Amino acid sequence: MKRNSTEPIQITEVCLRDGSHAVAHQFTVEQVRAVTRALDEAGMHYIEVSHGDGLGGSTLQYGRSLVDEMKLIEAAVEQCSQSRIAVLLIPGIGTVHELKQAHSLGAKLVRVATHVTEADVSAQHIHFARELGMEALGFLMMAHSAPIDVLVEQAKLMESYGAQAVYVTDSAGTLLPEEVRARVRALRSSLSCEIGFHAHNNLSLAMANTLVAIEEGATRIDGSVRCLGAGAGNTQTEALIAVLQRMDMHLGIDLYKLMDLAEEVVAPIMHRVPEINKGSLSMGYAGVYSSFLLHAERAGKRFGIDPRDILMELGRRKAVGGQEDMILDVAASLHKNQ
């Protein structure tokens, strides 16, 4: 692979944040310690720990956490001798107060996430993170749902606020490889900061899309051990490291240790195996936010509606992350019109 960048690739492991969706936010302190310790021993660059919807996400709307995320962040930091702990913050869900607390516990990096057309709401949080001395990255969610020129415009805003990287975030797992290529290439040619990429596997394209992103110059890359993440999960970290090593791209991460972690530590704590089933496939096809899957399944059961119909309708309504309350409304409406 000929890369359009000389910057080193840095991996952020998201199984303890995106994977929170897959376990209904029920991670225990012991589980977080065990996973973080193994990731640190394997040489993982960054480990993201927070509620699936970011700091402050433990609510009735998004799902209550079993354990306060600050306790999980603290537990993760205690296990690290080389990895750095990261957090996600979605303005409107999390605030600078949660960010300050996470930093005080040892979090070193924050990804400030907004819908792809709403980068302007990230300014305060990016500025504040930089003032704290944290790495601050922008995370443009649902990147498929805006034209490329709008994506570039919004990424430039995040860069102007101080973001040290901006991510193309395929929240729905709906982008095709050439769509990823066009987006990463556009950002690479328009921004001075690093470019990141976050994939979901709802159309079985997470690995292909991640490799295309790397080829086009993305250097901040997300993966999830055992694919533990929302929907059909994310790019599988241990598989990604194996593929990159076959391409003679060595990132200082121990493949065998990742394999052992996946099978011996992560697999036993998974409530469900992220896979491409009718629900996750429907999300990728309809372009729906990946964390909606469990909510749609619950609403479907409650109202006697096929969850696929709920997801397709959410896609038609162009629902975005943070609109979980719309899922019950859609299910109720479909039930009424049966």
User: Binding site residues, as ranges?
Assistant: 17-18, 171, 198, 200, 289
Helix pair 148-161, 123-132: axis angle to 10 deg: 40
Distance CA 310, CA 308 (A): 5
Tokens of 273: 């195996």
Binding annotation for Mn(2+): 18, 198, 200
Helix pair 177-190, 206-215: axis angle to 10 deg: 30
> Would the CA dihedral through 1, 226, 103, 151 be positive or negative?
positive
Distance CA 83, CA 77 (A): 9
Cβ(81)–Cβ(40) below 8 Å = yes
Cβ(321)–Cβ(289) below 8 Å = yes
| DSSP 8-state symbol, 4 | S
User: Position of tokens 């609510």?
Assistant: 59
Binding annotation for substrate: 17-18, 171, 198, 289
Task: Name the residues annotated as catalytic.
Answer: 21
Cβ(181)–Cβ(211) below 8 Å = no
| DSSP 8-state symbol, 122 | G
Distance CA 31, CA 16 (A): 9
Q: Burial letters for 84-105: b for 16+ Cβ neighbours within 10 Å, e otherwise?
A: bbbbbbbbebbbbebbebbbeb
* One-letter amino acid for residue 310 of the chain: I
Length of the chain: 338
**220-223/84-89 β-pairing:** unpaired
Tokens of 181: 């290529």
User: Position of tokens 């990731």?
Assistant: 39
Cβ(238)–Cβ(258) below 8 Å = yes
